[in-house]
């Protein structure tokens, strides 16, 4: 009696650092521009699953003209499948490409850490796997916790700079109705600045948006997407010690705080990983 074993893969909303999720592509001909090569590679490899990172770079000056590419998947199984189906194929050019899984050894401190995806990446991954109607988010609490004025420098000096300190807390609920799963996330952000008048209102809006985004990211870190071999997706929520966050705002302020000055909204998440070995 034969049994059918269904392939299962689990995705988390964290930056993938494992080498079995990273492909290195080379022998790319210079017949297309760098932008065109990026589009072709994206079309080919994203058909196997969502991509976290795709970088195209020209060959070094002492090497023959051409390009190489680094491609990072969220899923090890999808990366492996993509490698098997593309290595040695010409795809979008006249000669075959070489596609290998990276065998770069990930440092221990990186392999043990889990850096959450950015807000934009969380939405991208959730929408790709679950569809735009597959999940919802609701704000339970969004509250201004601090609004104070401080004076910089010597109090006796004339023309002292007045600074304002703002602090917001937010609690959000993330729901997956089709899967009957719900989780929550909380965040607190703070900023100190010198602007006055209408600029204060603008800064408040920035902080309110940022704290909402950070709380949603925190909620996504508890979510597991289970990809089944038949194409279906299941959602599970990791049970953590702080899973039950109280609805009162006091529960919000117990999470780690982040300063606005530490935040770069345009930060490129793609780390430099061109020094690769391949298997």
Class of domain 119-152+162-262: alpha beta
Taking residue 139's Cβ as centre, other Cβ atoms within 10 Å add up to 14
The Cα–Cα gap between 36 and 105 comes to 31
Collapse the DSSP code of 247 into the 3-class scheme (helix H, G, I; strand E, B; otherwise coil) and give the result.
Answer: coil
pLDDT in tens, 12-71: 999 998 889 999 999 999 999 999 999 999 999 999 999 999 999 999 888 889 999 999
Equal fold, 18-105 vs 119-152+162-262: no
pLDDT in tens, 117-169: 999 999 999 999 999 899 999 999 999 887 777 665 554 444 556 777 888 99
Structure tokens that stand for 112 in this block: 């043990």
The Cα–Cα gap between 80 and 7 comes to 13
Taking residue 77's Cβ as centre, other Cβ atoms within 10 Å add up to 19
User: What is 18-105's CATH topology?
Assistant: Alpha-Beta Plaits (3.30.70)
- Whether the CB-CB separation of 47 and 109 falls below 8 Å is answered with no
Q: What is the pTM of this model?
A: 0.78
The ranges assigned to domains in the chain are 18-105, 119-152+162-262
């Amino acid at each position: 009696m034969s049994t059918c074993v269904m392939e299962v893969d689990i995705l988390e909303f964290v930056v993938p650092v494992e080498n079995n999720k990273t492909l290195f592509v080379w022998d790319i001909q210079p017949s297309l521009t760098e932008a065109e090569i990026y589009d072709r590679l994206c079309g080919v490899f994203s058909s196997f699953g969502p991509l976290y990172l795709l970088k195209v770079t020209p060959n070094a000056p002492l090497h023959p003209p051409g390009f190489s590419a680094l491609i990072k998947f969220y899923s090890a199984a999808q990366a492996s499948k993509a490698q098997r189906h593309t290595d040695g194929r010409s795809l979008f050019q006249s000669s075959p490409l070489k596609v290998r899984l990276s065998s770069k050894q990930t440092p221990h401190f990186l392999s043990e850490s889990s850096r959450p995806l950015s807000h934009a990446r969380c939405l991208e991954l959730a929408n790709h796997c679950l569809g735009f109607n597959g999940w919802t988010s609701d704000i339970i609490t969004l509250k201004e916790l601090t609004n104070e004025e401080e004076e910089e420098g010597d109090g006796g000096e004339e023309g002292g700079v007045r600074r304002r300190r703002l602090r917001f807390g937010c609690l959000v609920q993330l729901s997956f109705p089709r899967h009957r799963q719900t989780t929550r996330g909380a965040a607190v952000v703070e900023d100190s600045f010198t602007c006055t008048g209408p600029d204060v209102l603008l800064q408040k809006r920035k902080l309110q948006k940022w704290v909402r985004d950070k709380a949603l990211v925190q909620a996504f870190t508890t979510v597991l997407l289970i990809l089944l071999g038949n194409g279906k997706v299941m959602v599970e929520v990791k049970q953590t010690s702080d899973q039950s966050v109280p609805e009162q705002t006091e529960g919000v302020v117990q999470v780690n705080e982040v300063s606005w000055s530490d935040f770069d909204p345009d930060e490129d998440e793609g780390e430099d990983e061109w020094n690769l070995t391949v298997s």
